[in-house]
Amino acid sequence: MKSLIECIPNVSEGRRDDVVASLADAAVRAGRGVLLLDRTSDRDHNRSVFTFLGDGPGLLDAMTALVEASLAAIDLRSHRGAHPRLGAVDVVPFVPIRGATPADCVSLARQLGTRLAERFSLPVYLYEEAASAPERQNLANIRKGEFEGLAAKMKEPAWKPDFGPSSPHPSGGATVVGARAPLIAYNINLGTADLAVADRIAKAIRHLSGGYRFVKAMGVKLEARGQVQVSINMTNFEKTPLHRVFETVRSEAERHGVAVVGSEVVGLVPNAALLAAAAHYLRLEADPSPQVLENKLLDLAFTAQGE
Amino acid sequence: MKSLIECIPNVSEGRRDDVVASLADAAVRAGRGVLLLDRTSDRDHNRSVFTFLGDGPGLLDAMTALVEASLAAIDLRSHRGAHPRLGAVDVVPFVPIRGATPADCVSLARQLGTRLAERFSLPVYLYEEAASAPERQNLANIRKGEFEGLAAKMKEPAWKPDFGPSSPHPSGGATVVGARAPLIAYNINLGTADLAVADRIAKAIRHLSGGYRFVKAMGVKLEARGQVQVSINMTNFEKTPLHRVFETVRSEAERHGVAVVGSEVVGLVPNAALLAAAAHYLRLEADPSPQVLENKLLDLAFTAQGE
């Protein structure tokens, strides 16, 4: 494989495991050389996150098959979940890993958008680095109003989809496709059932309302656990590191007399993000990455393959 | 390469960089397929730690060449440094990484010991999992008395070397060879020049004097920095994790009104040791290892090679 690209579709189904498994199968079968690295479902969010790895052509075929299978299995008109969503397949980002550029991923996003519109009459928005306008860079802007508000939103000229019809797919809504840097989905769970606390903390850390530059966050109620969560997207973990956000959440939670019960990464995480946290807390005097045995092995493995 | 073994010789030279570089060169040139992953020198310790990776036969040739070059370049009679040492090449441990067992490494240690004794009339002790008697498992026991006390110690029947003559090599002393699990050399630097504080903290954390089961530690003076250091060997980071030791050192230092200035890993470190620290401080609800992107890539790379 000459290039390695990560593709992380988010699908609006997190409760029927057989359905989620069949969607993954469809993608892997259709995409030559495509590997499923991870699959995580959340019952409260009623949403699943898949991580695929492959080259451009393989991922294009895999995502086409995933969308086809999802449109057949998911009906947003009866979908309920704590996480905002616009489509049956809600978001499909491409992320360059090795031997691929951001521009390659933008091109891939446009190809996929064209294909989904043609084959399934599905409206597609481009976002992040693939966005066709500044107000479409931010996923939250595109998703505002969710599936339920989509038909009205699409009538505004400013929100005409980049590909496909200007009306939602009846059961599948619309899909947002794009290219971006590695993102970390990171949730911090709080020892309270009061959603207002999570909302207030989310507001304190997110860029939109005065927080960190590369943080998106919202409060989410975890019915099954009787707790609330600060659900976070870290869009640049090198400039806004995990541990700094964690410490701010801890401090803000304390101010409300609430404990941080735990935290969780959803999907995959670049090793460097966790190493940076270890380095911070252990007060390491140097970046430990060059000293990590597995990093050396990985360099050797990829050198040996002549990439 | 069918098996991967790590070999981490510790050599008593940390100030003449040209000499240290030439020793590494000699090893890599002699050992077929042997790679130098890391080389770290410490001026205060006057000692260098090399990390080689290879298979058994390659490492055997590489270590023979390293010892030959070290005996020619280093004279312990004029060597001074903060770190205890017995030989020009002080310690040579073999560590199984992939496709090799601890028993393979014990066998390798015995082969190297035989060879060094024959070729260079160098006394060799076996230690850790390769030890020939319980009192020789612990490196500190073997090294007690250092180079300067070696001639007298060797006259005792209990301290007859496992291979070679019962008198030290005139300039090179003796070499300790063995097999062990991955070890982390980890130093914590303190904001004081008072060696007694580092000594007292080392005593608090080390197994020998009531501390953690898998910790060896001593106080070391860092002349160049005007600070002291708790110099630690972590012999089982899964059972005694880095972060626990760090927090204990921090607490004990505070009791003396001293700050932890920083910490450092010497040589290589298994990724899992740092991930465990990140997981601890970020209160991760699950072990993050399966979610680390690079771990997935590494699995794929080694699967693709058909190992």
- The pLDDT score that the predictor gives to residue B4 is 82
When pLDDT is averaged across residues B253-275 and rounded to a whole number, the result is 95
Separation between Cα atoms, residue B209 and residue B199, nearest integer Å: 12
Lowest mean pLDDT among A180-194, A224-238, A291-305: A291-305
Separation between Cα atoms, residue B19 and residue A238, nearest integer Å: 38
Residue B271: list chain A partners with CB under 8 A. 271, 292-295
When pLDDT is averaged across residues B97-121 and rounded to a whole number, the result is 94
Contact call for residues B17 and B8 (beta carbons, < 8 A): no
* Strand stretches in chain A, DSSP E: 4-7, 10-11, 35-42, 47-54, 89-98, 124-128, 175-179, 184-190, 215-222, 227-234, 260-266
A302 confidence band (pLDDT: 50, 70, 90): low
> By CA distance, what is B6's nearest residue in A?
A293
Q: What percent of chain B has pLDDT over 90?
A: 86
**Contact check, Cβ <8 Å, B261/A283:** yes
- The pLDDT score that the predictor gives to residue A106 is 98
* Strand stretches in B223-284, DSSP E: 227-234, 260-266
Q: What is the mean pLDDT of chain A?
A: 94
Is 70 exceeded by the pLDDT of residue B303? no
A301 or B29, which is more confident: B29
A289 contacts chain B (CB < 8 A):
no
Contact call for residues A157 and A202 (beta carbons, < 8 A): no
**Contact check, Cβ <8 Å, A293/B260:** no
**Which two tokens mark B78?**
């004029």
List beta partners, residue B52. Answer: B7, B36
Separation between Cα atoms, residue A261 and residue A93, nearest integer Å: 30
List pLDDT tens digits, range A101-128: 899 999 999 999 999 999 999 999 999 9
Is 80 exceeded by the pLDDT of residue B305? no
**Which two tokens mark B173?**
């002393």
Is 60 exceeded by the pLDDT of residue B8? yes
**Contact check, Cβ <8 Å, A274/B270:** no
Which of B4, B243, B291 lies closest to A281 in CB terms? B243
Lowest mean pLDDT among A16-20, A130-134, B1-5, B220-224: B1-5
- The pLDDT score that the predictor gives to residue B306 is 36
B304 confidence band (pLDDT: 50, 70, 90): very low
Q: What is the mean pLDDT of chain B?
A: 94
Q: How many other C-beta atoms lie within 10 A of the C-beta of residue A255?
A: 12
List pLDDT tens digits, range B272-300: 999 999 999 999 999 999 899 888 877 76
Chain B residues 246-265 with CB within 8 Å of chain A: 246, 260-265
**Which two tokens mark B145?**
């008395």
In terms of Cα–Cα distance, which of A273, A279, A277 is closest to A291?
A279
Catalogue all structural domains in chain A, each as residue range(s) with its CATH number.
Answer: 4-179 (3.30.990.10), 184-269 (3.30.70.670)
Is 90 exceeded by the pLDDT of residue B238? no
> By CA distance, what is B290's nearest residue in A?
A268
- The pLDDT score that the predictor gives to residue A288 is 95
When pLDDT is averaged across residues A143-172 and rounded to a whole number, the result is 97
